[in-house]
Structure 1
């Protein structure tokens, strides 16, 4: 898109918009990956996923769209090398019980959809993980599928090698648990191991300690350790030295007194630091302050929070509408940009932010980009306000920043910090 036709940001600091795409008329995006000059994005409301040619970042071109199975969403995906892994799960936001999204983020999801007890007998969605060959960039070719019994898979971590790691809503469990997946034959992936917090296995007679949303969003893996973001149950660190037998190393929860919603973790092993984001999940700041935390991990058995990142404050985002607060942090993909000093995060109605953590006790915001109001609402749920909701961020090896939105499309940025 020519520079003269690019959207004008509501706010920017040290970040310049150089490209924008409506993703072939499907501007809603959730997870975002870039591989060999192509961006892959899962859709929240348009179903399926799209591929955008970003080899010329100033002229991104949508080149492929693959539809989801009926009543199924493909919101999260992973690319590495010649493989693309795509989740398949019940389309929660299309379901009547979750038209008020508060119902999705509060309480135990397995009980709400009936998979914990087996009460739901009619499964009209596809649950599992699809595997695509992307050796021809931009042309995914499906080669495998791993089914699961339950609501489906939510998010995956895969950076090559034999194992992938995922969160899965399985029959008999109150919420999403941790599973490992053997990828030695990509055409026939199989579950290799699983871990859940005590109280989650309803089928075995376990009883949760509370009725809050205690389920794994996903885990990232560093070395032999998985760092799991367990929503209202906080941080769960798992030993995956033997991926067939994942075992608890540490469980640390700060909710209450803080407001929960732990979304993702990023370990910085060269500095013994762990970044953890608590996701803002309700409109109009109803769920209150959600920080990005920085933990000192020099003693792995005793993580100490040493700081939180500054909250965007150049506008009244708390009153803007929609969600305000962290959603996702860029996870130092090994085939992308890797830094232990710069942290990239999305703040929903406050856009995308960049933080300098060279001084870990005083993180400093050094970049920001807030897109304008989206051209239209793709979100078909009732009572949605037409404001930006930046969702994911990816940074490639050259330092270009890619970020997307539930309604506004793909933005490609140069960071000038």
Structure 2
């Protein structure tokens, strides 16, 4: 398999994930990759103990009309989100409809009466002590569209974005995992204007997606990517009553879609990624930003990362721009200077941030055109859309693609 472009990176192995070559979030744990699917439903398990020969060993189907696109692993637990399968729904076949306006109203969760709910919503917990055979042991239901993404690195607390009846979009919730067979919601936070059930009125234009994508929690601070509302920092010392520390938004004039907020605590820095969500930069140019957060109540943007430019990716079919970051999870490769990101039709990128005012690209890998199109929505091109990236403790890079399967890569800057 010859890359369309490679710089200081090489392919180690590739998998079509048992014919389900669409992938969203992945976790690598004890020699197995757990991969949520965007279009094939459910999630797959790939044995990557020999990274040059990844082998799909299990597939767990999703409930009807439900997607399992995001998941987390720690110790012998796997947490898998359950939510309405948005991209199978008729109302979201035009992708623009998913990324604009109050999502709760569109899926019938803000005014649930009279709307059929034919999907499963909540959080499923699996025992993965036998890595190739996940066994469900618990489930936390929620009333609404479901959970979008979770942050869990062990212990009592998990954190998630949840689309709950009565709210305009996804809000922040804390989850008590002290009994993994019975996870339960413990606290919640939303931006003023989101609680429609309490007759709150949004202060933002109706076309905007002011909903939480997900948090990353370090200590007692939750760094929340709130899509078109930007960065929200919460004090979660009391997990039952999260409190606002600060809210910063740079959209407009920039295009919104904030997707990841990755703290680099040893340097008092925060990497913030805005997701490109439409083709040909129809939603504007999106950036990865570096913030100085030595005062968490006053984050200051100090730089942006360079954009891939070896070809005109804006004209290439599909989305061009940032999507996901490797999030320095415990047990994975953790670096406060090297940042790994996916850029959709521009593949996987590695950045050196030793000078936080001038991040530099030091590695890149752009896979070739996929063998077949997995995206079933109308008018989609058969093109790579590099989605998530995970770097294991040995420095191997794993990246999923909406169409192209799992790529296992090596970066020569780690040798």
TM-score interval, smaller chain: over 0.9
Tell me which residue corresponds to 2:181.
Answer: 187
In structure 2, distance between residues paired with 1:242 and 1:21: 43
Cross-structure match for 1:240:
236
The CA distance in 1 between the partners of 2:227 and 2:109, in whole Å, is 19
For structure 1, list consecutive stretches of 5 or more residues without a partner in the other structure: 1-6
Deviation above 3 Å: which 4+ runs of structure 1? none
Q: Which residue of 2 aligns with 1:340?
A: 336
Residue by residue over 1:141-199, the C-alpha shift from the partner in whole angstroms, topping out at 9 and shown as x without a partner, is 11000000000000000000000000000000000000000000000000000000000
* Deviation, structure 1 residue 117: 1.8
Which residue, out of 113, 119, 122, partners 1:125? 119
Match of 1:270 among 266, 269, 278: 266
SS in 1 for 2:104: helix
Match among 28, 38, 44 for residue 38 of structure 2: 44
1:312 paired residue among 308, 313, 323: 308
- Whether 2:388 is the aligned partner of 1:414: answer no
Query: How far did 1:121 drift?
Result: 2.5
- Of 183, 193, 200, which residue of structure 1 is paired with 2:194? 200
Matches within 5 A, 1:134-149: 134-149=128-143
Aligned pair partner of 2:385 in 381, 385, 389: 389
Aligned residue for 1:354?
350
The structural deviation recorded for 1:48 is: 0.1
Conservation of the 8 A alpha-carbon contact between 1:272 and 1:296: yes
**Higher mean C-alpha displacement, 337-346 vs 134-143:** 134-143
Deviations 1:24-52 (A, max 9, x none): 00000000100000000000000000000
Contact 1:113-1:120 within 8 A present in 2 as well:
no
Residue 76 (structure 2) aligns with: 82
Q: Do the aligned residues in 2 keep the contact of 1:31 with 1:76 (CA within 8 Å)?
A: yes
List runs of 5+ in structure 2 lacking aligned partners.
Answer: none
Answering whether residue 154 of structure 2 is matched by residue 160 of structure 1, we say yes
**Cα contact 1:337–1:395 (8 A) shared by 2:** yes
Partner residue of 1:398 out of 378, 394, 398? 394
Residue deviations 1:260-291 (CA, integer Å, cap 9, x gap): 00001100010000000000000121112100
User: Counterparts of 2:183 and 2:2 in 1: how far apart (Å)?
Assistant: 44
Shift of 1:99: 0.1
Please give the per-residue CA displacement for 1:204-225, whole angstroms capped at 9, x wherever unaligned: 0001112211000000001100
CA distance in 2, matches of 1:325, 1:115: 30
- The aligned counterpart of 2:88 is 94
Q: Tell me the residue number matched to 1:27.
A: 21
Q: Does the 8 Å contact 1:297/1:304 carry over to 2? A: yes
Provide the residue aligned with 1:215 in structure 2: 211
Is the aligned partner of 1:151 residue 2:145? Answer: yes
| TM-score for both structures, normalised by structure 2 | 0.98
TM-score between both structures, scaled by the size of structure 1: 0.98
Equivalent-residue separation in structure 2 for 1:202 and 1:288 (angstroms): 29
Q: State the 1:299 CA deviation.
A: 1.8
Counterparts of 2:118 and 2:244, CA distance in 1: 34
Report if the CA contact (8 A) 2:384-2:402 is conserved.
Answer: yes
Residue 66 of structure 1 pairs with residue 60 of structure 2: yes
Alignment of 1:177 with 2:183, yes or no, is no
Q: Are 1:380 and 2:395 an aligned pair? A: no
Distance in 1 between the 2:98 and 2:113 partners? 18
* Pairwise CA distance, 1:119: 4.3
C-alpha distance in 2 between matches for 1:268 and 1:142: 34
Deviation at 1:300, TM superposition (A): 1.6
Instruction: Please state whether the residue corresponding to 1:284 is helix, strand or coil.
Output: coil
Query: How many corresponding residue pairs?
Result: 411
**Alignment partner of 1:237: what SS?**
strand
357, 366, 371: which is aligned to 1:370? 366
Q: What do you get for the CA RMSD once the two structures are aligned?
A: 0.6
Q: Compute the displacement of 1:120 (Å).
A: 4.9
